Amino acid sequence: MTTGTTPDLVALERGIADEIAAAGDEPALEAARVAALGKKGAVSELLKGLGRMTPEERQVMGPALNGLKDRLNQAIAARRAVLKDEELSRQLEEQRVDVTLPLRAAPIETGRIHPVSQVIDEITAIFADLGFAIAEGPDIETDWYNFTALNFPEGHPAREEHDTFFFHPKEDGERLLLRTHTSPVQIRTMQTVKPPIRVVIPGRTYRCDSDQTHTPMFHQIEGLVIDTESTIGTLKWVIEEFCKAFFEVERVKMRFRSSFFPFTEPSMEVDIGCQRVGNELRLGEGDDWLEILGCGMVHPNVIRATGLDPEEVQGFAWGMGIDRIAMLKYGMPDLRAFFDADVRWLEHYGFRPLDLPTLARGLSS
Ligand code: DAH
């Protein structure tokens, strides 16, 4: 009797073991397990038959079938472990990281600094090196700060030249305005800082004007030095040092032309030498001239208007258009494009955000 059933079990076991060994993935292995050990599996069916056997038969078949079941379970577990390993190896192979690939550009790499911000950073780096601090004032000004305190008499034609944007009059009749230059911050600084004063004043300014080199909002930077003995000699030296550093040249050809501003006496305009070579504009040398700023000794009336005594302190000031010298230095043809917010323009003319201008490393490199 026993000799009749045992060979069947050996064949059955071999068949199932082959199926387990051949299972190429988890579903195939599960199918083999269900076919043998599931509720209606071949081995389960045999186990169910134990109850119908004689005690003698059961004594032989019980351990034989349970042994078979255990061995099959072990074989399934072993195969499952092998499949898991293979799957992991396959994933590692497929999802391999190529560390030699270039990095995707981070936002900090793709962002650009606007040329106006860049030039403000360059100019303030130069003047910080000369011992200047930065001062700022409001864009909306009173007539007194923008004109009267700067020695523009009421009704003086120089007021008209500024193409001022005025606000509607207030109830008391006063008309606020958008400052037409950064010079009112000279007054605010002299009112609040005890001399010696050495400041540069960058900021937005406004005039009703628009063409290729003018926009209704533009930027200026103003300089102010007030102490007991600053002279035109110091002024010229400061301007020359600034021009050499800003245009990144060893020498700069310049001339001071006499001019008129109500708030300075004497007043001058400064031109630098330049030369057109093909499409390129070379700055600092050559037989042509480019006007870059206005300057002069601060008028005694201006010093007096701030409450300081022109018999005790004196000094000089200058002012220039930031956008204009940015155009000159970086060869940008149309000022209006500065404020169009076109990212293609910014990508072309903008500066990399982490290349902060410093005198030691070079301003614009
Ligand atoms: N405020 C003048 C303007 O907007 C520029 C200027 C000229 C400023 C001479 C100064 C200066 O401080 O001394 O045209």
The pLDDT tens digits of the residues spanning 56-92 come to: 988 988 999 999 999 999 999 999 999 999 999 999 8
Going by their DSSP bridges, the two strands 197-206 and 133-134 should be labelled as: parallel
What distance in Å separates the CA atoms of residue 186 and residue 197, rounded to the nearest whole number?
10
Residue 364 forms part of a structural domain: no
pLDDT at 354: 78
Share of the chain above pLDDT 70, in %: 98
Establish whether residue 239 lines the binding site of ligand 1, counting it when its CB lies within 6 angstroms of any ligand atom. no
Same domain, 58 and 174: no
**Atom of ligand 1 at shortest range from CA of 222:** 12
Residue 274 forms part of a structural domain: yes
**Residue-averaged pLDDT of the chain:** 91
pLDDT exceeds 50 at position 4: no
Give the range among 219-223, 301-305, 332-336 with minimum mean pLDDT: 332-336
Task: Give Cα separations from 318 to 8, 14, 235, 247, 261 (angstroms).
Answer: 109, 101, 9, 18, 11
Torsion of CA 303, 307, 312, 314, to 10 degrees: -20
| pLDDT class of 170 with cuts at 50, 70, 90 | very high
Same domain, 124 and 168: yes
Using a cut of 0.75, tell me whether the model's pTM lies above it.
no
Q: Is 320 left (phi over 0), alpha (psi -120 to 50) or beta?
A: beta
Same domain, 74 and 137: no
Same domain, 278 and 328: yes
Residue 191: both structure tokens together:
């009112």
Residue 99 forms part of a structural domain: no
What distance in Å separates the CA atoms of residue 126 and residue 247, rounded to the nearest whole number?
11
What is the dihedral sign for C-alpha 30, 34, 38, 42? negative
Average pLDDT over residues 126-145: 96
Residue 94: both structure tokens together:
């497929």
Higher pLDDT, 355 or 249: 249
What distance in Å separates the CA atoms of residue 169 and residue 202, rounded to the nearest whole number?
28
Q: Which of 70, 17, 15 is nearest to 47 (CA)?
A: 70
Q: What confidence tens digit (pLDDT) does each residue in 101-134 have?
A: 887 777 767 789 999 999 999 999 999 999 999 9
Establish whether residue 261 lines the binding site of ligand 1, counting it when its CB lies within 6 angstroms of any ligand atom. yes
Q: Which of 224, 241, 263, 236 is nearest to 134 (CA)?
A: 224
Same domain, 250 and 216: yes
pLDDT exceeds 70 at position 365: no
Residue 218 forms part of a structural domain: yes
Asked which of 94, 129, 157 is the last residue of a domain, the reply is 94
Task: Give Cα separations from 121 to 185, 234, 326 (angstroms).
Answer: 19, 23, 12
Residue 102 forms part of a structural domain: no
Same domain, 123 and 12: no
Task: Give Cα separations from 253 to 222, 240, 243, 327, 365 (angstroms).
Answer: 22, 9, 10, 19, 23
- Please report which residue ranges of the chain form alpha helices under DSSP H: 2-22, 26-37, 42-48, 55-94, 107-110, 115-129, 143-146, 157-160, 184-192, 232-247, 300-305, 322-330, 343-349
Residue 251 forms part of a structural domain: yes
Share of the chain above pLDDT 90, in %: 67
CB-count burial class (<10 Å; 0-12, 13-18, 19+) for 301: middle
What distance in Å separates the CA atoms of residue 313 and residue 300, rounded to the nearest whole number?
9
Same domain, 172 and 241: yes
Residue 355 forms part of a structural domain: no
Q: What confidence tens digit (pLDDT) does each residue in 277-289 have?
A: 887 788 888 899 9
CATH number for the domain harbouring residue 335: 3.30.930.10
Same domain, 80 and 175: no
**Quick check: bond before 216 cis, omega within 30?**
no
What distance in Å separates the CA atoms of residue 197 and residue 283, rounded to the nearest whole number?
31
**Atom of ligand 1 at shortest range from CA of 220:** 4
Query: Residue with the nearest Cα to atom 6 of ligand 1?
Result: 319
Establish whether residue 181 lines the binding site of ligand 1, counting it when its CB lies within 6 angstroms of any ligand atom. yes
Average pLDDT over residues 142-157: 92
Range of the domain at 279: 114-349
Same domain, 186 and 67: no
| pLDDT class of 296 with cuts at 50, 70, 90 | very high
Same domain, 229 and 318: yes
pLDDT exceeds 60 at position 2: no
What distance in Å separates the CA atoms of residue 217 and residue 19, rounded to the nearest whole number?
83
What distance in Å separates the CA atoms of residue 164 and residue 178, rounded to the nearest whole number?
7
Same domain, 180 and 257: yes
Task: Give Cα separations from 271 to 30, 285, 295 (angstroms).
Answer: 89, 11, 11
Which among 261, 265, 292, 293 is the best mutation to test ligand 1's pocket, defined by most ligand atoms within 8 Å of the CB?
261
Same domain, 177 and 266: yes
- In which residue are the tokens 């701030």 written? 306
Q: How many domains does the chain have?
A: 2
Residue 23: both structure tokens together:
């299972």
Establish whether residue 202 lines the binding site of ligand 1, counting it when its CB lies within 6 angstroms of any ligand atom. no
pLDDT exceeds 60 at position 44: yes
Q: Which of 261, 259, 256 is nearest to 162 (CA)?
A: 261
Residue 354 forms part of a structural domain: no
- In which residue are the tokens 């404020």 written? 339
Establish whether residue 297 lines the binding site of ligand 1, counting it when its CB lies within 6 angstroms of any ligand atom. no
